[in-house]
């Protein structure tokens, strides 16, 4: 019997992926049954990290945490931390602005936690006081620009870290985080980053299926964060230049990295995590059409070339009234995986595996990945183990920076060029009280003007 290459791939895709559902090695046969091939895992079990995710961390020694950044994500991270385990507490707070610290202190009082006045720190250097206050863990949820220096200082002082994503906005921050991550490993300090899909049960089970060979070799993918416009802050009377930008941080590139870095990094991270690849080149375009404040774009489209030559297409948009999609799609030689529905299909489009969300609800009381990442952090610390996610997060984070800079300039950006570049978004005159030179905070225009 004659068999086309496509027919062979379609047949083996169905049988191979179905075998992965049962968790056993499946023998594949051609229609003539003359040859047999074993499904080949992408990676052997035990060579990649799978977190243990009980509903709550095991009891153990008391752990004290300090919170740096008392805004919405900071207060959320604090509550997630407290929900993750018994015997944990928050003992110190820091923020650039006193009203944020006081607001957070009131929220903690509702949980029965009182933060003494001498442990409520305010200002751009307040992070040092929190880290030096005797905490075991620091929860860093400031605007992303500040995270590298906070990470660096915490590791130098021997403090475990939870770092919200992204963990840097430029090449200077990338190198600082790489160095701090290496130091954390050397000191056996745990670092968990806010790429919460790494602690989301459906993503973890999908990752395991793909590692087991369910879709074959990865050949490409598409990742999306197309959603609506985020919040913004209009300037209030009495606010300095710096205060306005920090309070409106999600709209300013030097503070957030632009939304491709601040938000879409989640989706890019899924592909770099599942594939184990980093991009060697990014070619992007984007524009600003609806944004009200700041100097950022509101849409990006990027073609990433990965180190083995396959391509990843990335799309993100923050504009109301448009088609929305927040998901990841990965294509392989045997089939594909789609996070919409957490489903694996063969090459003919037949569903061969799907994550069981009902079973998750039945078997677990805690399924919030924002809390489970703290469960894993606390468990690992109490057991004397090591988890260090920053060195993994820097890959997707720098990929997003590459894409942003390509869109801003209209030029291709390479991994080697960006990682070694002198890109540093630090303002020359950063001051909470004095005026700053705002002339540089303009929307970028790619290419050269037409004549």
Which residue, chain included where needed, has tokens 């950044």? Answer: 69
Count the alpha carbons within 13 Å of 397 in the hemisphere toward its beta carbon: 32
| Mean pLDDT lowest among 21-35, 77-91, 119-133 | 21-35
Q: Which two tokens stand for residue 19?
A: 């075998």
Cα-based angle 329, 331, 337 (whole degrees, multiple of 5): 50
* DSSP letter assigned to residue 111: T
In the chain, the percentage of residues whose pLDDT exceeds 90 is 90
What CA–CA distance (Å, rounded) separates 375 from 129? 26
Task: Measure Cα distances from 335 to 12, 153, 272, 332, 358 in Å.
Answer: 10, 45, 18, 5, 24
What stretches of 87-136 adopt beta strand conformation (E)? 88-95, 120-122
Residue 174 has pLDDT above 50, yes or no: yes
Say what the pTM is. Answer: 0.91
> Using 50, 70 and 90 to split pLDDT, how confident is the model at 34?
very low
Radius of gyration in angstroms for the set of CA atoms belonging to the chain, rounded to a whole number? 23
Pairing of strands 137-140, 160-163: parallel
> Using 50, 70 and 90 to split pLDDT, how confident is the model at 449?
confident
Q: What is the torsional sign of CA 250, 268, 210, 198?
A: negative
Residue 31 has pLDDT above 90, yes or no: no
Residue 10 has pLDDT above 70, yes or no: no
Average pLDDT of the segment spanning 205-227:
98
> Using 50, 70 and 90 to split pLDDT, how confident is the model at 20?
very low
What is the DSSP track for 43-76?
S-TTSS------SSPPP-S-EEEEEE--SHHHHH
Average pLDDT of the segment spanning 177-188:
98
> Using 50, 70 and 90 to split pLDDT, how confident is the model at 38?
low
* DSSP letter assigned to residue 135: -
Average pLDDT of the segment spanning 352-375:
98
What CA–CA distance (Å, rounded) separates 256 from 419? 18
pLDDT digits (tens, 9 = 90+) for 313-344: 999 999 999 999 999 999 999 999 999 999 99
Residue 27 has pLDDT above 70, yes or no: no
């Amino acid at each position: 019997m004659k068999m086309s290459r496509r027919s062979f791939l379609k047949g083996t895709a169905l049988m191979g992926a179905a075998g992965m559902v049962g968790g056993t090695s499946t023998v594949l046969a051609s229609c003539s049954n003359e040859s047999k091939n074993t499904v080949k895992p992408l990676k052997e079990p035990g060579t990649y990290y799978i977190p243990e995710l009980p509903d709550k961390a095991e009891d153990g020694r008391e752990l004290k945490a300090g919170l740096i950044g008392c805004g919405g994500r900071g207060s959320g991270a604090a509550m997630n931390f407290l929900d993750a385990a018994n015997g944990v507490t928050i003992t110190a707070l820091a923020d650039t602005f006193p009203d944020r610290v006081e607001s957070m202190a009131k929220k903690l009082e509702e949980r029965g936690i009182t933060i003494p006045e001498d442990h409520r720190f305010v200002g751009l250097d307040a992070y040092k006081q929190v880290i030096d206050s005797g905490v075991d863990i620091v929860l860093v949820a400031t605007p992303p620009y500040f995270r590298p220096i906070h990470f660096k200082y915490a590791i130098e002082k021997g403090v475990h870290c939870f770092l919200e994503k992204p963990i840097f906005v430029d090449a200077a921050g990338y190198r600082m985080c790489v160095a701090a991550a290496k130091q954390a490993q050397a000191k056996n300090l745990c670092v968990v980053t806010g790429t919460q899909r790494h602690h989301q049960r459906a993503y973890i089970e999908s990752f395991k299926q793909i590692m087991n060979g369910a879709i074959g070799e990865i050949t490409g993918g598409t990742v999306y964060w197309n959603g609506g416009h985020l919040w913004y802050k209009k300037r209030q009377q009495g606010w300095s230049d710096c205060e306005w930008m920090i309070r409106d941080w999600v709209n300013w590139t030097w503070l957030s990295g632009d939304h491709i870095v601040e938000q879409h990094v989640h989706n890019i991270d899924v592909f770099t995590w599942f594939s184990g690849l980093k991009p060697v080149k990014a070619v992007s375009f984007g524009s600003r059409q609806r944004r009200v404040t700041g100097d950022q774009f509101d849409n990006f489209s990027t073609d990433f070339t990965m180190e083995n030559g396959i391509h990843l297409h990335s799309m993100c948009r923050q504009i109301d009234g448009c088609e929305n999609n927040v998901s990841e799609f990965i294509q392989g030689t045997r089939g594909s995986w789609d996070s919409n529905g957490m489903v694996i299909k063969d090459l003919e489009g037949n569903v061969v595996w799907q994550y069981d969300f009902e079973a998750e609800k039945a078997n677990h009381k805690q399924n919030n990945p924002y809390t489970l990442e703290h469960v894993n952090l606390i468990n690992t610390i109490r057991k004397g183990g090591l988890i260090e996610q920053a060195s993994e997060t820097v890959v997707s984070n720098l990929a997003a920076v590459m894409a942003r800079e390509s869109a801003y300039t209209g030029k291709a950006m390479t991994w080697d060029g960006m990682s070694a570049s002198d890109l540093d978004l630090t303002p020359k005159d950063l001051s909470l009280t004095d005026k700053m030179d705002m002339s540089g905070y303009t929307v970028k225009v790619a290419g050269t003007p037409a004549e």
